[in-house]
Structure 1
Amino acid sequence: MQPIISFQHYGFKYKNQSEPTLKEITLDIYPGEKIWIAGPSGSGKSTLAHCINGLIPFTYGGEATGILKIAGQNPSDLSIFELSRTVGTILQDQDSQFVGLTVAEDTAFVMENKTMPRQQMKQKVAASLNMVDMLEYIEHSPYELSGGQKQNVSLAGVLSTDADVLLFDEPLANLDPASGRKAMQLIDDIHRESGKTIIIIEHRVEDVLQQAVDRIVLMNEGRIATIGTPDEILSSGILRSYGLRPPLYVEALGHAGIPIRDVKGLSFPRLLDIPGLKPKLDTWSEQAGVKQERGHSQALLKVSGVTFGYDPMHPVIQDVSLQIGAGEIVALLGNNGAGKSTLSQLITGILRPQSGRIFYDGQDISTWSIRRRGEAIGYVMQNPNRMITQHMIAEEVGLGLKVRRLSAAEIKERVENALKICGLYPFRNWPVSALSYGQKKRLSIASILVLEPKLIILDEPTAGQDYHHYKEFMDFIESLSSRGMGFLLITHDMYLALEYAARAVVLSGGRVIAEDSVTDVLSSPEITDAAHLKETSLSLFAKANGLSSPERFVQAFINEEKKGKGHE
């Protein structure tokens, strides 16, 4: 059988760079395979994807060595249009992928290029949108949709192509847990029904492994570090050394001192064939799973009975109350469209509530201007591209201070300090355009931090970041909270909430349906189902293996992780 994609001793160096980004890549991908390409940020996986879908050499110039064949042909001999007939791509940044004014037009774009008869096109568009649960949005503008809904529309567009290879670049970056599960299921359905070759680039290990994968290609520093089946890779314990996080229950086995070498079936939570597993884990949970009592800090932010609707007859937020203490990290959880972003806009003053009040440090802030609120409450958007306005990194971070007319010397000192905290100091003289998505995320935080607010709202703080940067970044957020800064994390990442938040507030349909410790919230199927969250893999694993107390097992894991960070 001939490979559909073949790299032989392939290397690639971008224009104006001294070092090649890809080195000595040898990889054959066969028709109908489902391949997952993983690795830390900067490992070269996106560049590898660009070679497969033709963005290299058509968009990004540079020099290639070795051989690359796609469907038996050299991609540089083809036009990008010819190449797109073989490889269809779903990008991480969906906004740059839309071409139509409505969801229907966008989905129909490929069919229009093929001059498909109108009636057939309408049926195919409806079928594609139905498959991704977006049929009711057929007349909406793609730009009005949430991150997860945009992702689904991109999927529908690619479903309507005849490409033999589908390449998914970070397909889970903006999705809530339930939508992420659905997206992986959908990719799997497409794979099974169409027999197409599927290539997934993603660093959410647990989520990708919910469905079967033929091979995992691990990349590091521009090279292929290793290739293997999920069982081979997970039981070898090497994921962490390449900046990726193993599934949580696999880490829990490690904390409990249970060897996993050569254990089969680790790719999703299920009953494992390990002698004496249940009693060992029960004993460990009992010893390590004591719940930490938390002291109450004074309320820095208090939202009291807030109601709001873009149309007053249809409230998006209904009678919402919550509070965040100084130095406290609170997670705001809920499905796409639950009202999380609307609530943060009410807190920052972009929107005004119809009823209810918001207090900051004991003061009613209903009369405060957006600017005054912005000095006390920082807001970091999910998509960093929407926050960045300057070309150079140092200018971007210093912009808010310039507006406040601080001296050049003070601006320089505070900017450098914020860049150091966010791990961007080495790039202080770079243009913003040279940063990766994850680095831009940290840049948008640096430009808020420099203003020294007491409370920061972070919308999806770790989307698009590999485990190494995620951990570095969240440990840094935690260190700021220990200095008394309060944080509201709007997140779809259950593990982020588990490890870093003291409490979770769960929104569904614009109402608060739960407020409790994250462990209790995420171990309750009633709450997780209602809010499209995902019961944690730890809790599912504990139930699959018949453990006496799944909650205790989850708590034991959190305590061990905190201990590892030097907390007691």
Structure 2
Amino acid sequence: MMQPIISFQQYSFKYKNQSEPTLKDITLDIYPGEKIWIAGPSGSGKSTLAHCINGLIPFTYGGDIRGSLSIAGRNPAELSIFELSRTVGTILQDQDSQFVGLSVAEDVAFVMENKAMPREQMKRETAASLERVGMLDYIDHSPYELSGGQKQSVSLAGVLSTDAEVLLFDEPLANLDPAGGRKAMQLIDDIHRQGGKTVIIIEHRVEDVLQQPIDRIVLMKDGGIEAVSTPDEILASGLLRGCGLRPPLYVDALRYAGVSLDGVQGLSRPQPLGIPGLGERLDGWSEQAAAQTPSQPAESLLDVRGLTFGYEPGQPVLKDVSLQVGAGEIVALLGNNGAGKSTLSQLITGILKPQSGSMRYAGQDMASWSIRRRGEAIGYVMQNPNRMITQHMIADEVGLGLKVRGVPAAEIKERVAGVLQTCGLYPFRNWPVSALSYGQKKRLSIAAILVLAPKLMILDEPTAGQDYRHYQEFMDFIEQLAGQGIAFLLITHDMYLALEYAQRAVVLSGGEVLAADTVASVLSRPEVTEPAHLKETSLSLFAKANGLASPERFVQAFINAEKKEKKGHE
């Protein structure tokens, strides 16, 4: 009988200075050559479990251990971190903290140098590893100059140069766009199949992980293992939502349509399910659920017409870009890295000046507006809140913009209190900023702009790095603000966010607008999603695979059903 390469037996771990264990009675065997996905919300214990596997516990993070853990038949606590790294190779979420070389070649060759490998062999193996991940052309570049997806590939090449039997991927899709996520998962699968490695993935992007085959899902909640099973069994059981994770959208759509998933095979990817009469049943449900109540078009707030801009003469980054955002409307700005989304936001906020075209705000030409005046009307929130926060105390951070504008202290105090109430941060008004969670800091960065009473806010990747529960809480908060008349332009790679919260989507690619329409229409058209490196929504792919009459109508039916269910829970 095959012996497990990793075996937890009634294993518990409690960090120093904590009253309760983070891992509770874990019993789990992982076998050589398996591909395992450890899933769970923030705080479920999955990162701590990973630290036990790669040796950070107990070598870096000390604490109280109960039960047993063996890796390749040995107790990791009795090995050095170097000895353990020969069995377990780790690819971290933050690649910058993992790089050790000044060039890509030096970084990939680091392990080989430590083995005193002959120089010519080292060169050959370094080149072979980079060729395998498609990064050979960057062999002489600094790893810090690369994009997020390229850094991920270089980290993979570095691990390929080791003899590690186990590869542990910690949030490998963080900060990758849909195309980058697809490539990363394909690369991980290629390494798994070709190298016979044991692969362990820790990630909360459900659909992205399931693009490639997974042997078993280990579902964690509150420090314990909730379930261990195949993807089909986990998806059919409905356990993902109970563990704070979002199932694939088409699985939810089947549930809304009243289709039983008991014993259904093939749920892990959008493919034909072989259920008799499924297409006709879903077409009937779609026709009924997709019907929309006509809504009044929102009064135009931001009107961008024929915008053209380039950093170098004769090399436009944006070409004849036009878009509109209505008062209280949420619009998703979608597109691949380098499409021009950030440049467009800098033009709107006045950091850059267009070479041609016009921008109007509430009917007024913005050409003569200063950056300060634009900042009072249009707020811009960066992806990372830590890059925006400058004050030590929460109330000081929110009131800073008013203070520099000479607003009286009594009025600042009143307005800050009101905004903190709106953002759910009032109980923390006297706290230091450092005491807030990442999601609370995101709210704080919005509060600091909201206090200036803008009517339009541009949010850059508002939900990056957040699990489904925190993502939902944050976006429900944004939706409430939109209900109060504030418009939002969301720069995002997240197709689900666009589907669930945006009224319309504008897609940029190569500096041009490919489409501006309802989200259901835009994300159901491969001629739009493919050049923009977006993902055609899994709803649309599922509808096509199962022969539905109108994929776009199926997508709209899902959107309406989601909104109806959300209202039912309010």
Alpha carbons of structure 1 residues 323 and 277: separation in structure 2 relative to 1, 3 Å: same
Contact 1:377 1:455 (8 Å CA) reproduced: yes
Partner residue, 1:65: 66
In structure 2, distance between residues paired with 1:532 and 1:307: 22
- Deviation string, structure 1 residues 30-74 (Cα, Å, up to 9, x no partner): 221111111111111122222222233333333333222223333
In structure 2, distance between residues paired with 1:126 and 1:424: 52
Alpha carbons of structure 1 residues 415 and 157: separation in structure 2 relative to 1, 3 Å: farther
Partner residue, 1:510: 511
Partner residue, 2:315: 314
In structure 2, distance between residues paired with 1:386 and 1:442: 14
In structure 2, distance between residues paired with 1:177 and 1:429: 40
* Structure 2 counterpart of 1:234, one-letter code: L
Matching of residue 167 in structure 1 with residue 203 in structure 2: no
- The aligned runs of 1:276-287 (5 Å cut-off) are 276-287=277-288
Partner residue, 1:239: 240
- Deviation string, structure 1 residues 326-381 (Cα, Å, up to 9, x no partner): 11111111112222222222323333333333333333434544444333322222
> More deviation in 130-139 or 176-185?
130-139
- Deviation string, structure 1 residues 431-451 (Cα, Å, up to 9, x no partner): 655665555444444444344
Partner residue, 2:366: 365
Partner residue, 1:492: 493
SS in 2 for 1:232: helix
Gaps of 5+ in 2: none
Partner residue, 1:40: 41
Partner residue, 1:455: 456
**Residue 250 of structure 1, CA deviation:** 0.9
> More deviation in 207-216 or 372-381?
372-381
> More deviation in 511-520 or 65-74?
65-74
SS in 1 for 2:3: coil
- Deviation string, structure 1 residues 465-518 (Cα, Å, up to 9, x no partner): 222221221121111111111111111111111121111111111211111111
- Deviation string, structure 1 residues 378-417 (Cα, Å, up to 9, x no partner): 2222233433445565655555455456666766665565
SS in 1 for 2:521: helix
Q: CA RMSD in A?
A: 2.7
In structure 1, distance between residues paired with 2:301 and 2:350: 16
- The aligned runs of 1:411-430 (5 Å cut-off) are 418=419, 421-422=422-423
Alpha carbons of structure 1 residues 410 and 111: separation in structure 2 relative to 1, 3 Å: farther
- Deviation string, structure 1 residues 116-162 (Cα, Å, up to 9, x no partner): 44444444344333433344444444444433333333333333333
SS in 1 for 2:352: coil
* Structure 1 counterpart of 2:62, one-letter code: G
**Residue 95 of structure 1, CA deviation:** 3.3
Alpha carbons of structure 1 residues 481 and 148: separation in structure 2 relative to 1, 3 Å: farther
In structure 1, distance between residues paired with 2:442 and 2:163: 35
- The aligned runs of 1:389-468 (5 Å cut-off) are 389-390=390-391, 396-401=397-402, 403-404=404-405, 418=419, 421-422=422-423, 437-468=438-469
- The aligned runs of 1:214-225 (5 Å cut-off) are 214-225=215-226
* Structure 2 counterpart of 1:67, one-letter code: S
SS in 1 for 2:86: helix
In structure 1, distance between residues paired with 2:435 and 2:49: 18
* Structure 2 counterpart of 1:233, one-letter code: I
In structure 2, distance between residues paired with 1:286 and 1:192: 42
Alpha carbons of structure 1 residues 99 and 411: separation in structure 2 relative to 1, 3 Å: farther
Contact 2:177 2:337 (8 Å CA) reproduced: yes
**Residue 423 of structure 1, CA deviation:** 5.3
In structure 2, distance between residues paired with 1:239 and 1:62: 30
Partner residue, 2:85: 84
Alpha carbons of structure 1 residues 29 and 562: separation in structure 2 relative to 1, 3 Å: same
Alpha carbons of structure 1 residues 347 and 501: separation in structure 2 relative to 1, 3 Å: same
Larger radius of gyration: 2
In structure 2, distance between residues paired with 1:493 and 1:167: 25
Alpha carbons of structure 1 residues 99 and 379: separation in structure 2 relative to 1, 3 Å: farther
Alpha carbons of structure 1 residues 112 and 450: separation in structure 2 relative to 1, 3 Å: farther
Contact 2:439 2:474 (8 Å CA) reproduced: no
> More deviation in 473-482 or 418-427?
418-427
In structure 2, distance between residues paired with 1:401 and 1:140: 44
- The aligned runs of 1:24-39 (5 Å cut-off) are 24-39=25-40
Alpha carbons of structure 1 residues 26 and 450: separation in structure 2 relative to 1, 3 Å: farther
Contact 1:300 1:326 (8 Å CA) reproduced: yes
SS in 2 for 1:565: helix
User: So what's the TM-score if we normalise by structure 2?
Assistant: 0.91
In structure 1, distance between residues paired with 2:224 and 2:64: 17
* Structure 1 counterpart of 2:319, one-letter code: Q
Contact 2:303 2:323 (8 Å CA) reproduced: yes
> More deviation in 415-424 or 500-509?
415-424
Gaps of 5+ in 1: none
In structure 2, distance between residues paired with 1:457 and 1:90: 32
Partner residue, 1:349: 350
In structure 2, distance between residues paired with 1:363 and 1:303: 12
- Deviation string, structure 1 residues 190-232 (Cα, Å, up to 9, x no partner): 1001111111111111111111111111111111111111111
Alpha carbons of structure 1 residues 438 and 103: separation in structure 2 relative to 1, 3 Å: farther
User: How many positions carry a matched residue from both structures?
Assistant: 568
Contact 1:332 1:489 (8 Å CA) reproduced: yes
SS in 2 for 1:533: coil
SS in 2 for 1:83: helix
Contact 1:85 1:162 (8 Å CA) reproduced: yes
> More deviation in 482-491 or 97-106?
97-106
Contact 1:146 1:337 (8 Å CA) reproduced: no
Contact 1:300 1:323 (8 Å CA) reproduced: yes
* Structure 2 counterpart of 1:146, one-letter code: S
Partner residue, 1:149: 150
Alpha carbons of structure 1 residues 408 and 145: separation in structure 2 relative to 1, 3 Å: farther
In structure 2, distance between residues paired with 1:447 and 1:25: 43
Alpha carbons of structure 1 residues 437 and 162: separation in structure 2 relative to 1, 3 Å: farther
In structure 2, distance between residues paired with 1:460 and 1:100: 30
User: So what's the TM-score if we normalise by structure 1?
Assistant: 0.91
In structure 2, distance between residues paired with 1:461 and 1:516: 21
